[in-house]
C-alpha cells in the first residue's frame, strides 16, 4: 500500500535512463538511440557509484519518492531496476510504501517484464501513450499503435497499484470536439492520473526544423487556449481535476514525486543528463551531469560521479524558483515560506492588481494561487510578482 499524501515538500530521488528505441520528433529530453545492446550491468554499477557520491553530499535523509525517468526506463531489465532501487535504499532511509514510479512506453511493455518491475519495488507506472488514434501516433513518431497502447494500459492496471499515462494535445488539425472525445476515452481507461501536455516546438527537435521550414502548421494561440480550457472542463467533470497546470488526478492520487518539484522540495538527480537540487551545508545546490551516456559512464568510473556543473542559489533565486514552481499548483504557495526564502514579503499592491485582473486569488490568510485565467499566462504572473 502506498503511503498517504501529505503537504511536506519531500526529498526525492530521480534516476535517468537515457536510452530509447527511437527519438520522437517533438522530444528535447536527454534520450539516445543505440543499435547495439546496452551493457546494463555496467551502467547499473555506475548508478550505484554516483548514488553513493550524492549520499556523501546530502547526508542521511529519508526518501519520500523515487522516479525512474528517461529516455525509456522500460527498456531496462527488471533486475537492473531492482539493482538501482537497492542502491537507493543502501544510501538513504527508504520507508515502506513510498511512491516508486517507472516511465514506460507501450511498445516496450511485456507482462513478464511488468511483473518483474513490480517485484523489484515499482508501485506506479507512467505510460507514454501520447495519442489515442493511429494517425497522430505515427505523426508523433511513436512506435506503438492504439491497440498496443490499450493493451499496455490493461496490463499496467492489473500489475501496479497506481497508473498514469500521458497525452499530447494541440496537435496540428486537432479540433475541439475530437480532443474532448479523445480525453473522455482516456479517462475511461485511466486508473487515477493523467498528464496532459500541449504540443510545443522545442529547440533542437525535428519538429523545430519542420516548423521553421513552414512544413508544420501549429494551432494558433486562441485555439490552443480553448483546447486547454476543454481539458480542464472534461477532466473536472469526470473526477480528475487539475492539481497542476498539466496534471490531473483523482483526490489522493497526485504524483508524489512531481509534487516534490512543485512544492520546492529537494531531490537528487543521478544518471546521464540528470539535474538535482538539494540542501548542502545550509544552502541549496544545483547539480547537472554529463548528458552523453558513454561519457557519463567513463566519468563515473574514474571520478565517482558524472556531475559536470552546478551552482549555489542565492536567496532571491530560491524565492523565484519557489514562485515559478509553486504557482503551477492549484494549492498555490505558502506566503510565509516565500518570505523566509527571500527575506521579504511579496508586494501587497502587486498582488492586489493581479487579483483585480482575475489572475491570482488568496486562499485563507497565508496562501496565494493563480486562477484558471492566471495559469494560462503564468510566466507573466510570476514575473510580475517577482519584481522588486
235-263 pLDDT per residue, tens: 999 999 999 999 999 999 999 999 999 99
Confidence of residue 112 (pLDDT cuts 50, 70, 90): confident
Give pTM, 2 decimals. Answer: 0.95
Q: Find the range with the poorest average confidence among 60-74, 102-116, 175-189.
A: 102-116
What percentage of the chain reaches a pLDDT higher than 70?
97
186-214 burial, b at 16+ Cβ within 10 Å, e below that, comes to bbebbbbbbbbbbbeeeeebebbeeeeee
At residue 362, the pLDDT reads 96
Burial group, residue 105, by CB count within 10 angstroms (0-12, 13-18, 19+): buried
DSSP E strands in the chain: the ranges are: 11-17, 19-20, 32-33, 65-70, 99-104, 124-130, 162-169, 193-198, 242-244, 247-249, 266-270, 275-280, 283-289, 307-312, 333-334, 360-363, 367-370
Q: How far is residue 276's CA from residue 285's CA, in Å, rounded to a whole number?
A: 8
14-59 confidence digits (pLDDT tens):
999 999 989 988 888 888 999 899 999 999 999 999 999 999 999 9
Mean pLDDT value of segment 204-230: 91
Taking CA 335 as the corner, what is the angle to CA 286 and CA 254, rounded to the nearest 5 degrees? 65
Confidence of residue 386 (pLDDT cuts 50, 70, 90): confident
Mean pLDDT of the chain: 94
pLDDT of residue 136 exceeding 80: yes
At residue 28, the pLDDT reads 85
Q: How far is residue 257's CA from residue 64's CA, in Å, rounded to a whole number?
A: 8
In this structure, how many other beta carbons lie within 10 angstroms of the beta carbon of residue 16?
Answer: 25
Q: How far is residue 202's CA from residue 225's CA, in Å, rounded to a whole number?
A: 19
At residue 319, the pLDDT reads 94
Amino acid at each position: 500500500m502506498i503511503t498517504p499524501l501529505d503537504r511536506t515538500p519531500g526529498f526525492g530521488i530521480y534516476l535517468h535512463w537515457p536510452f530509447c528505441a527511437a527519438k520522437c520528433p517533438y522530444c528535447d529530453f536527454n534520450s539516445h538511440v543505440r543499435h547495439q545492446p546496452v551493457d546494463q550491468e555496467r551502467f547499473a554499477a555506475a548508478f550505484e557509484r554516483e548514488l553513493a557520491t550524492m549520499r556523501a553530499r546530502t547526508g542521511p535523509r529519508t526518501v519520500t519518492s523515487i522516479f525512474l525517468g528517461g529516455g525509456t526506463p522500460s527498456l531496462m531489465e527488471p533486475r537492473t531496476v531492482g539493482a538501482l532501487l537497492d542502491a537507493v535504499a543502501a544510501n538513504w532511509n527508504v520507508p515502506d510504501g513510498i511512491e516508486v514510479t517507472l516511465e514506460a512506453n507501450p511498445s516496450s511493455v511485456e507482462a513478464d517484464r511488468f511483473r518483474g518491475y513490480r517485484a523489484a519495488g515499482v508501485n506506479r507506472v507512467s505510460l507514454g501513450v501520447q495519442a489515442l488514434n493511429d494517425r497522430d501516433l505515427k505523426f508523433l513518431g511513436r512506435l506503438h499503435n492504439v491497440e498496443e497502447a490499450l493493451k499496455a494500459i490493461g496490463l499496467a492496471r492489473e500489475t501496479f497499484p497506481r497508473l498514469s499515462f500521458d497525452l499530447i494535445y494541440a496537435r496540428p488539425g486537432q479540433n475541439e470536439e475530437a480532443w474532448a472525445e479523445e480525453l473522455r476515452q482516456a479517462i475511461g481507461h485511466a486508473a487515477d492520473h493523467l498528464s496532459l501536455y500541449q504540443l510545443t516546438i522545442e529547440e533542437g527537435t525535428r519538429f523545430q526544423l519542420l516548423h521553421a521550414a513552414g512544413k508544420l502548421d501549429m494551432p494558433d494561440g486562441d485555439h490552443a487556449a480553448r483546447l486547454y480550457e476543454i481539458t480542464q472542463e472534461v477532466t473536472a467533470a469526470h473526477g480528475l481535476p487539475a492539481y497542476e497546470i498539466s496534471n490531473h488526478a483523482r483526490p489522493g492520487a497526485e504524483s508524489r514525486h512531481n509534487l516534490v518539484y512543485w512544492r520546492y522540495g529537494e531531490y537528487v538527480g543521478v544518471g546521464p543528463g540528470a539535474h538535482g537540487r538539494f540542501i548542502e551545508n545550509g544552502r541549496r545546490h544545483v547539480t547537472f551531469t554529463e548528458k552523453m551516456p558513454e561519457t557519463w559512464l567513463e566519468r563515473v568510473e574514474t571520478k565517482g560521479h558524472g556531475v559536470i556543473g552546478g551552482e549555489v542559489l542565492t536567496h532571491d533565486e530560491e524565492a523565484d524558483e519557489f514562485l515559478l514552481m509553486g504557482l503551477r499548483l492549484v494549492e498555490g504557495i505558502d506566503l510565509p515560506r516565500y518570505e523566509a526564502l527571500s527575506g521579504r514579503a511579496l508586494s501587497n499592491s502587486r498582488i492586489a492588481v493581479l487579483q483585480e485582473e482575475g489572475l491570482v486569488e488568496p486562499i485563507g490568510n497565508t496562501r496565494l494561487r493563480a486562477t484558471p485565467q492566471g495559469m494560462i499566462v503564468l510566466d507573466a504572473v510570476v514575473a510580475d510578482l517577482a519584481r522588486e
